Structure 1
């Protein structure tokens, strides 16, 4: 479980409702089902219109990455690459063919297969970088979905506010109905801003961070496999790969 995500959401919601309580506002004033329906329904509708269904389904699937970080580990990548390098140094590149059958990561599996096939190192890099670019372009879609939703939500909140004010204006002769209309108007704006700035936009940012971590590790795999194909010393390969962790230390620490 990603504690920073949980803590951030609770802190954001607590700050809004806690601040309202300190101002003497009763919590029931912020519980407006009508405003929630307008904002959440409108935001969902605008997002659905904006993206094809496969992208939306992928975004929903990737939502778990916001709360549950992937199990991928840069140290594990280095360890695996060093093991491959040592095996190839002892028994030749063809000995990695068995590794290609057992490795779970499809990207690494493809890279090892290319190494075993004896492809030119430059061609290996070009092929794997194309694969990396395709993965990045596909993975960015999920973050973009949530960021777009974060852009729609405040505007939908304004629509809710306008609807509430229309309701108020149509009932000026009946003071008993003014309070409810005004409440819906302002609460819809709050819901829109909260949906955008506590949930959607941060979710998109978190997914981008996860993507950077995944890209870093795939770049390490590319460099490691090319070094193996060039017959470099496993110790030298380890030092080369650890340079990625120094350059991307902020990725490793988050």
Structure 2
């Protein structure tokens, strides 16, 4: 253990680590799309908190609050209903101003899909980082070994050169299993909780819209000339 601590500086080379990390992040970005890297890093701001841990909010409780508010105050009262999830607040505000259940359902389904995509993209980005990092490390090691043996290096100097070459594999494994994969597991768990919660609320408000919103049939106007012809005939 003493030998490890005394030589720990040998395990960290900022330039090699930076190259491996940059290559991994860029390839994961290419694999998941242009907004994935932004969403992936933005999700880190809330990774330490469970959804609704402060309020204890859940789908059943929110659906009952919606029903109670609807009975007591009508549609207008839904605008004052608060939720820790901004998606639910936006859906309720749109429901208040919705004209018919069909257009509301189309809108809310699109919003739900967009919200799920954002959640899954953040988790998927870090999953790609975890999968790509070992391959990048191995590529660096193989490339270094090819260069090492191609130059005919002195056997006495091969030890330090081999140590430098193997650092790429070490950093690939470190980025994958110590950094990226735990982040992916955490974000994937959060995404499952939020998506299930939103799906339950969306189903409930769609049922309310179908029951409460009046469907107004379109009015068909007959041109005056056509009306005269009909009467004359």
- How many residues align structurally? 207
Structure 2 match to 1:75 = 57
In 1, the alpha carbon distance for the partners of 2:100 and 2:30 equals 45
TM-score, structure 2 as length reference: 0.70
* Match in the other structure for 1:128: 108
Name the counterpart of 1:31.
12
Structure 2 match to 1:202:
182
Change over 3 Å in CA distance of 1:201–1:138 after alignment to 2 = same
Moved more, 105-114 or 130-139: 105-114
Relative to structure 1, is the Cα distance of residues 138 and 75 closer, same or farther in structure 2, using a 3 angstrom cutoff? closer
Structure 1 pair 132/191, CA: closer, same or farther in 2 (3 Å)?
same
Q: What residue in structure 1 maps to residue 167 of structure 2?
A: 187
Is residue 151 of structure 1 aligned with residue 131 of structure 2? yes
Distance 1:46 1:123, change over 3 A: closer
Is contact 1:153–1:193 with CA below 8 Å preserved after alignment?
A: yes
Map 1:32-181 to 2 at 5 A: 32-71=13-52, 75=57, 77-91=59-73, 93-99=74-80, 105-117=85-97, 124-169=104-149, 170-173=151-154, 175=156, 177-181=157-161
Normalising by the residue count of structure 1, what TM-score does the alignment of the two structures yield?
0.65
Residue in structure 2 matched with residue 9 of structure 1 by the alignment: none
Gaps of 5+ in 2: 213-233
Cα pair distance change 1:94/1:42, threshold 3 Å: closer
Structure 1's consecutive aligned runs of 4 or more residues displaced over 6 angstroms after TM superposition are: none
Three-state SS of the structure 2 residue aligned to 1:63 is helix
List gaps (5 residues or longer) in structure 1. 1-20, 232-254
RMSD: 3.3
Distance 1:44 1:108, change over 3 A: closer
1:211 to 177, 191, 195: 191
- Cα distance change on mapping 1:108 and 1:45 into 2, 3 Å: closer
Matches within 5 A, 1:2-41: 21=1, 25=4, 26-41=7-22
Equivalent pair of 1:157/1:188 in contact (CA under 8 Å):
yes
Structure 1 or 2: more helix by fraction: 1
Structure 1 position 192, deviation (Å): 0.6
Question: Offset at 1:213?
Answer: 0.7
